[in-house]
C-alpha cells in the first residue's frame, strides 16, 4: 500500500468520524459512533492502523506519526461530543445512567441505643463528680452475695434465680452449686470491688451488663444493664441520695420530672427504697437505692462509725425506653436494623 493512499484513507476517516460525532444527539447514537470509530476491538481506527504494516518500511514512520495525529483528532471529537451531551464518562459506560437522579444513601453503622444511653448517663453523672468504675461480668459468690450481706441460705442465691457456671473434672460436668462462679446478677458487685481497693471518700458509678434467668417480656430481658452509684464519706445522708437522683433525673428526662422513694428491702442497704420517677403522667420504677448497710462496710474493712454512704442501682434499658418512648425491651436486642436505625 502506498503512503499516499494510506494518508488519504486516514483523512477521510477523520472527516467521517468528526461528522458522525457532530451528528450525535443522544447517548445511544454516541455509543454507536464510539464503537464504530474508536472501539478497541473492531473500530475503524484500529482497522486502519493494521494497514501500516503493508506500507514500504521507509514510509512507515511518517505513516505512524500521521496515524497518531488522526487518532488524537478523532478521540477529541468523541470527547467533545460526550461533553456536549453533558453526560461525561458515565454515559459511555452505561447509556441508561441518569446523573440527575438522587443518589443512594450510603449505609453507615452507628452506636447501639443502649451504648448511647450509657455514654449519656456517664456524662451526666460525671458532671456531678462520679467517676466510672468497672468489674467483671463473671463473679464469685463473695462479691455478688456474701460481702453484700446476702448470707449462704438467702433465697437470692438460688440457682433458679442466677446463672451459675458449671465446673468440670475428669468425671464430667459437676452439678451447679451456690459456691460456683456466676454471671453477676447486679452491678452492686462493683461497690465491693471499689471499696476493697480504695479508701473513702468514694464517688463512683458503674455501668454494665447483668444477667438473670427472667423470662423475656416487654419490660424484662435475661441480659440487661444497670447503673450502680456509690457515694461514701463522713456524714452522707438520705437527703444527699435524693438530691443526686433528682438532679440526675432532671438532666436525663427533663426539668418536669418528680422523684419518689417507696420503702423497700435490699440486704446491702438500710434503710432501702424503690426509686420512682414521675414523667409524662405516670410513676415508673427505675431501680433500688438506700444507705449502705454497716455489715457491707465491715466486709470491706471500713469503720461504719466513721463513714456513711448511699448506693443506687437503676435499670439502663428502662431509662432508655422511657426517654425514647420504646415500649418493648425486646426490640433493643432483636437486631432489627429498621428499629435500631431510628436512634
Ligand atoms: C437491684 O438489682 C439492686 N442491686 C439495686 C440497688 C443497688 C439497691 C444499690 C440498693 C442499692 P433490682 O433487682 O430491683 O435491684 O433491679 C434494679 C432495676 O433493674 C429494676 O428496677 C429494673 O429497672 C431493672 N431490672 C431488673 N430486672 C430486669 C430485667 N430482667 N430486665 C430489664 N431490667 C431489669
CATH superfamily of 113-340: Bira Bifunctional Protein; Domain 2 (3.30.930.10)
**Ligand 1 pocket, residue 161 CB under 6 Å:** no
Q: Is 133 helix (H, G, I), strand (E, B) or coil?
A: coil
CB neighbours of residue 311 within 10 Å? 24
pLDDT in tens, 31-86: 899 999 988 887 888 889 989 999 999 999 999 999 999 999 999 999 888 888 87
Is the pLDDT assigned to residue 91 strictly greater than 70? no
Q: Where are the domains of the chain?
A: 3-93, 113-340
The C-alpha angle 208, 210, 214, rounded to 5 degrees, equals: 150
Is the pLDDT assigned to residue 254 strictly greater than 60? yes
**Ligand 1 pocket, residue 321 CB under 6 Å:** no
Cell 468523541 -> residue: 78
SS (H, E, C) 204-250: EEEEEEEECCCCCCCCCCCEEEEEEEEEEECCCCHHHHHHHHHHHHH
Closest CA to 190 of 218, 229, 216, 223: 229
- What share of the chain has pLDDT > 70, as a percent? 98
Give the atom of ligand 1 at the shortest distance from the alpha carbon of 222: 30
**Ligand 1 pocket, residue 269 CB under 6 Å:** yes
Question: HSE-up of 115 (CA within 13 Å, CB side)?
Answer: 5
Give the atom of ligand 1 at the shortest distance from the alpha carbon of 314: 18
Residue among 226, 229, 316 whose CB has most ligand 1 atoms within 8 A, to mutate: 226
Residues 215-222 have a mean pLDDT of 96
What pLDDT does 87 receive?
Answer: 57
Cell numbers representing residue 193 in the block: 470491688
Predicted confidence band at 105 (pLDDT cuts at 50, 70, 90)?
Answer: confident
Backbone angles phi, psi at 241, to 5 degrees: -60, -50
The C-alpha angle 206, 209, 213, rounded to 5 degrees, equals: 135
- Check: CB of residue 53 under 8 Å from CB of residue 47: no
β-pairing, 223-233 with 308-315? antiparallel
Backbone angles phi, psi at 12, to 5 degrees: -65, -40
Nearest CA to ligand 1 atom 28: 220
Helix intervals (H) in 86-112: 88-93
Distance separating alpha carbons of residues 75 and 263, to the nearest angstrom = 87
Distance 237 CA to ligand 1 centre (A): 22
Distance 111 CA to ligand 1 centre (A): 24
Is the pLDDT assigned to residue 107 strictly greater than 70? yes
Is the pLDDT assigned to residue 100 strictly greater than 70? yes
SS3 content of the chain, % helix, strand, coil (to 5): 45, 20, 35
Distance 210 CA to ligand 1 centre (A): 9
Beta-bridge partner residues of 206: 228
Residues 313-322 have a mean pLDDT of 96
What pLDDT does 93 receive?
Answer: 66
Is the pLDDT assigned to residue 271 strictly greater than 70? yes
pLDDT in tens, 184-198: 999 999 999 999 999
Predicted confidence band at 88 (pLDDT cuts at 50, 70, 90)?
Answer: low
Distance 314 CA to ligand 1 centre (A): 6
Q: Which helix (H) or strand (E) holds 271?
A: strand 269-279
Nearest CA to ligand 1 atom 19: 315
**Ligand 1 pocket, residue 141 CB under 6 Å:** no
Nearest CA to ligand 1 atom 32: 220
Amino acid at each position: 500500500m502506498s503512503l499516499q493512499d494510506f494518508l488519504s484513507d486516514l483523512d477521510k476517516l477523520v472527516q467521517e468520524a468528526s461528522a458522525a460525532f457532530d451528528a450525535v444527539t443522544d447517548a445511544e447514537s454516541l455509543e454507536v459512533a464510539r464503537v464504530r470509530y474508536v472501539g478497541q476491538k473492531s473500530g475503524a481506527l484500529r482497522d486502519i492502523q493494521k494497514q501500516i504494516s503493508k506500507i514500504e518500511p521507509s514510509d512507515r514512520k511518517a505513516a505512524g506519526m500521521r496515524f497518531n495525529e488522526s487518532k488524537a483528532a478523532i478521540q477529541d471529537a468523541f470527547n467533545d461530543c460526550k461533553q456536549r451531551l453533558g453526560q461525561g464518562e458515565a454515559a459511555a459506560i452505561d447509556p441508561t445512567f441518569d446523573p440527575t437522579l438522587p443518589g443512594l444513601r450510603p449505609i453507615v453503622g452507628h452506636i447501639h441505643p443502649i451504648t448511647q444511653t450509657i455514654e449519656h448517663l456517664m456524662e451526666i453523672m460525671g458532671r456531678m463528680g462520679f467517676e466510672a468504675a468497672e468489674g467483671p461480668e463473671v463473679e464469685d459468690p463473695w462479691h455478688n452475695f456474701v460481702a453484700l450481706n446476702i448470707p449462704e441460705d438467702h433465697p437470692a442465691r438460688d440457682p433458679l434465680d442466677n446463672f451459675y457456671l458449671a465446673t468440670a473434672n475428669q468425671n464430667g460436668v459437676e452439678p451447679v452449686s451456690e459456691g460456683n462462679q456466676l454471671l453477676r446478677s447486679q452491678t452492686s458487685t462493683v461497690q465491693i470491688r471499689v471499696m476493697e481497693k480504695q479508701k473513702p471518700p468514694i464517688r463512683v458509678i458503674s455501668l454494665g451488663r447483668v444477667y438473670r434467668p427472667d423470662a423475656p417480656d416487654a419490660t424484662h430481658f435475661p441480659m440487661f444493664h444497670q447503673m450502680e452509684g456509690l457515694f461514701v464519706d463522713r456524714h452522707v445522708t438520705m437527703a444527699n441520695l435524693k438530691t443526686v437522683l433528682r438532679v440526675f433525673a432532671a438532666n436525663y428526662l427533663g426539668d418536669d420530672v418528680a422523684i419518689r422513694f417507696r420503702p423497700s428491702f435490699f440486704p446491702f442497704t438500710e434503710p432501702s427504697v424503690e426509686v420512682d420517677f414521675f414523667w409524662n403522667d405516670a410513676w415508673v420504677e427505675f431501680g433500688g437505692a438506700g444507705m449502705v448497710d454497716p455489715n457491707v462496710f465491715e466486709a470491706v474493712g471500713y469503720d461504719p462509725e466513721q463513714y456513711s454512704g448511699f448506693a443506687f442501682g437503676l435499670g439502663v434499658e428502662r431509662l432508655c425506653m422511657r426517654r425514647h418512648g420504646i415500649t418493648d425491651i425486646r426490640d433493643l436486642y432483636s437486631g432489627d436494623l429498621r428499629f435500631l436505625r431510628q436512634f
